[in-house]
Chain A
Amino acid sequence: MARKGKKKPRLLQGNEAIVEGALAAGCSFFAGYPITPASEISEILAYRLPQMEGTFIQMEDEIASLGAVIGASLAGAKSMTATSGPGFSLMQENLGFACVAEVPCVIVNVMRGGPSTGLPTNPSQGDVMQARWGTHGDHPIIVLAPSSVRDSFDITVKAFNFSERYRTPVIVLSDEVVAHTRETVVLPDPDEIEVLDRIRPSMPPEWYIPYKDTSSGVPAMGIFGDGYRYHVTGLIHDIRGFPTARTDEVEPFMRRLFRKINQSFHDIQIVNRFMTEDAELIVIAYGSVARSARRAVLDAREKGVKAGLLHLVTLYPFPRRDVVATIRDARVVLVPEMNMGQISREVKRVNEGMSRVATLNRIDGCMITPQEIYERLIKEA
Chain B
Amino acid sequence: MAEITKLVHKYLRHDKKFPHVWCPGCGNGIVLGAMIRAIDRRAYRKDDIVMVSGIGCSGRLPVYVDFNTLHTTHGRALTFATGVKLAKPELKVIVVMGDGDATAIGGNHFIHAARRNINLTAIIINNNIYGMTGGQYSPTTPYGMKASTAPYRNIEHAFNIAELAVTAGAVFVGRGTVYHARLLDKLIEKAFVKRGFGVVEVITHCHTQYGRRNNMGDAVAMMKWQKEHAVRVEKSADMSEEELRDKFTIGVLVDRELPIYTEQYELVRKQAKKTIPS
Chain B contacts of A97 at CB under 8 A?
Answer: 72-73
B200 to chain A, nearest CB (A): 21
A242 vs B14: C-alpha distance in the bound complex, in angstroms?
12
Closest to B49 in A: A229
Among A62-70, A121-129, A310-318, the one that faces the other chain is: A62-70
- Complex contact B76–A94 (CB within 8 A): yes
Q: Is B76 within 8 A of A224, CB to CB? A: no
B73 to chain A, nearest CB (A): 5
Residues of chain B contacted by A53 (CB below 8 angstroms): 269
Checking A59, A61, A71, A230 against B87 with a beta-carbon cut-off of 8 angstroms, the contacting residue is: A71
| B208 close to A (CB within 8 Å) | no
Q: Which residues of chain B in 62-118 are interfacial with respect to chain A, using CB atoms and an 8 Å cutoff? A: 62-63, 66-73, 76, 79-88, 90-91, 108-109, 112
Q: Is the CB of B83 within 8 A of A69?
A: yes
Contacts of B48 on A, CB cut-off 8 Å?
Answer: 225
**Interface with A: B157-165, B227-235, B270-278, which one?**
B270-278
* B225: interface (CB < 8 Å): no
Those 9 A-B pairs whose CB atoms lie nearest each other, nearest first: A71-B83, A67-B79, A68-B83, A50-B272, A72-B83, A75-B87, A71-B80, A72-B87, A233-B71
**In the complex the two chains form, what is the Cα distance from A114 to B121 in whole Å?**
40
Is A187 part of the binding interface, using a Cβ–Cβ cutoff of 8 Å? Answer: no
Q: How large is the interface on A (under 10, 10 to 19, 20 to 34, 35 or more residues)?
A: 35 or more
Question: Smallest CB–CB gap between B230 and chain A, Å?
Answer: 33
Given the interface pairs A50-B268, A225-B47, A231-B63, the reply to whether A93 lies near B68 with Cβ below 8 Å is no
A contact face: mostly helix, strand, loop, or mixed: mixed
A231 contact from B71, B76, B85, Cβ within 8 A: B71
B83 to A224, Cβ gap below 8 A? no
Q: Is B46 an interface residue (CB 8 A)?
A: yes
State whether B83 touches A73 (Cβ < 8 A).
yes
CA of A28 to CA of B87, assembled, Å: 8
Indicate if A227 sits at the interface (CB-CB under 8 A): yes
Residue of B nearest to A65 (CB): B79
For the complex formed, measure the closest distance between the CB of A92 and the CB atoms of chain B, giving whole angstroms: 11
Q: Which residues of A contact B46 (CB under 8 A)?
A: 229
Nearest CB of A to B89, in Å = 9
Chain B residue at smallest Cβ distance from A47: B272
A residues within 8 A CB of B88?
75-76, 224-225
CB-based contact A74/B15 at 8 Å = no
